[in-house]
Amino acid sequence: MMGCLQLNPYSFSHSLIALAIFVFRLLMNDVQNCGVFEGHPIRKMFSCSLPQLTADKYKMAGQLLQWSIQHGGPGIPVLLPDLYYHMVGVNCEHALQDTDITDVSVRDVINKVSDFDTMYDLRVLADCSP
């Protein structure tokens, strides 16, 4: 029986696990680039896209991420650390950097609002009566 191939159950199960982790890694790579996230390649935030929302892309990305982590695969290692800590309930003392906000108009508004001292200044920006 020298010519028979004998499968070792231990090595076979390790091969399946390695294959699953490889597939999950490819899947998470696709999730990172599906339009749900935006920003610096290693400091991404959720994008604000109505077409992505109506197409249930955010829900799909969350389900695939949960599925990968639940079965021993990788997560998404490119999320902005502050966003990740906020999502898992850890109090984070770090402040966002200007470069983390990719939408220039949103960044400009945030910079204006952060310089305000009173609610009156905010009302003036919003063109509301004091």
Q: What is the pTM of this model?
A: 0.58
Query: What is the chain's pLDDT, residue by residue, as a tens digit (130 residues)?
Result: 455 555 565 666 778 888 888 999 999 989 888 888 888 888 888 888 888 888 999 999 989 988 888 888 888 888 887 777 777 777 766 666 666 677 777 777 777 777 777 777 767 766 654 4
> Which residues, 6 or more positions from 37, have their beta carbon under 8 angstroms from its beta carbon?
44, 45, 46, 47, 76, 78, 79
Alpha-carbon separation of residue 100 from 6, 72, 83, 84 (angstroms): 54, 29, 11, 14
User: In whole angstroms, how far apart are CA 75 and each of 17, 48, 88, 100, 112?
Assistant: 16, 21, 13, 20, 35
pLDDT at 60: 92
